[in-house]
Amino acid sequence: MRIYNECEVMDKKIAKKKWTRSRIISASLIVIFLVFIFYLIFLRDSSLKLNVEKERITISTVEYSPFQEFIPVTGTIEPMETFFLDVTDGGRVVKKFVEEGTFLNIGDPIILLENPDMSLRIMYNEAQLFQQINSLRSTRLYMEQNRLQLQGQLLQVEKDLIKQKRKYGNSKILYQKQYISKIEFEESEDDYNYLLSLKNLTLERYKQDSLFQADQINQLEVGIDRMKENLEMIKMQMENLTIKAPIKGQLTALNAEIGQSINRGQNLGRIDNVDEYKIRVQIDEHYLSKITTGLLGEFPFADKTYKVEIKTVFVQVTNGRFEVDMNFVDEVPTGIRRGQTVRIKLQLGDLSDAITVARGGFYQSTGGQWIFVLDESGSSATRRQISLGRQNTMVFEVLDGLKEGEKVITSSYDNYGDVEKLILN
């Protein structure tokens, strides 16, 4: 057994420990820090969040249900037929037979105009017509006298020709028997030929005069007929100075007072056929390609629903809107009046099944491009891209991004900014 002295013991080297408590603590802290950094970078939810109270939002369920596209439009009641009282000839108002609002039958007088110039024109044309008629009578009398004179001349020529023909025949016999000279025979022959030519000439003159007289009389008669037509037209214009109702209806406007001067073509008022009505509707130009004749709509009036149908589409766009005329399908509401407005639910398509989401304020903020969808626990909602299609006043048609049964927030997103996740409290 070896005995060590005190010096040997003190000179022995003591080995140091590698993992001291301080080193272990330092290494642990470093590892924890690295794990924390890794979590912050790769595992932590970095999306913006916002706490929202459930009582202040609207939560709707995505459904698969019957869907029909329709839009709300506003229509104005108008009469089916309206006649505007535009005067054809001007004048001064001298009498009003009725007042605005009166119900009229066809031909009922409304106002009377006075036009002195037209009265003078009638008097002048009547005088011209009488003068032309007298001229025609004089011409006919002269032509008749001339015709009788020519007939008398023709009779006289024929009488002389008969006598000369007889004389010529006798002269011919006597000359052949040499009882008269050749000169006497030739004179008799010349006289006969002269009278024969004179007869033909007189007859031709009679024919020509007859044709000329017939043409002249015809021209005079045509001139008289035209003057009569002109006079009738002026008299009709004179009659038009009494403005009458062209249709049965209500005088809904009358712009004329006693003594007022009315110009040609000026509008004096309007008559509406109150037995039939239509609805003039203005629609946003966005729907122009979808609007066609035959589309149906409905609106409530006096606790009853009435159906209407598009009959005419006016494709001209003014201030971003175009117009259509809609007629009543079954019956016209009792008590409806011109100028009333009605709210119509206009159908744009047939009924079909589709995935739908309720309308809400979210659409104004997102344009229908995204929506907040609740998780299964209902404690949070995450932003999700969606695609919407057709719509009506109740729901949107969902084309992509949502499934039946999912719950979404459909109230306004105006206060959410760029938040991607909502924590529901």
CA 99 to chain CA mean position, Å: 31
Sorted by sequence, the CB contacts under 8 Å of residue 229 that are 6+ apart come out as none
Quote the pLDDT of residue 35: 66
Distance CA 239, CA 260 (A): 19
Quote the pLDDT of residue 2: 47
What pairs with residue 344 in β-bridges? 73
Quote the pLDDT of residue 411: 93
Distance CA 181, CA 188 (A): 11
Quote the pLDDT of residue 4: 47
Q: Could you list the pLDDT tens digit for every one of the 425 residues in the chain?
A: 444 444 444 555 555 555 667 777 777 777 777 766 665 554 445 457 888 998 889 999 999 999 888 888 999 999 888 888 888 888 888 899 998 888 889 989 998 888 888 777 777 777 777 787 877 787 777 777 777 777 787 888 788 888 888 887 888 888 788 888 888 878 888 888 888 888 888 888 878 777 777 777 777 777 778 888 777 877 777 777 888 888 888 888 888 889 888 888 888 888 988 788 899 999 999 889 889 999 999 999 988 999 999 999 998 999 999 999 999 998 888 888 888 999 999 988 778 899 999 999 999 989 899 999 999 998 999 999 999 988 888 899 999 999 999 999 999 998 888 888 999 98
- 3-class DSSP state of 223: helix
Distance CA 36, CA 48 (A): 20
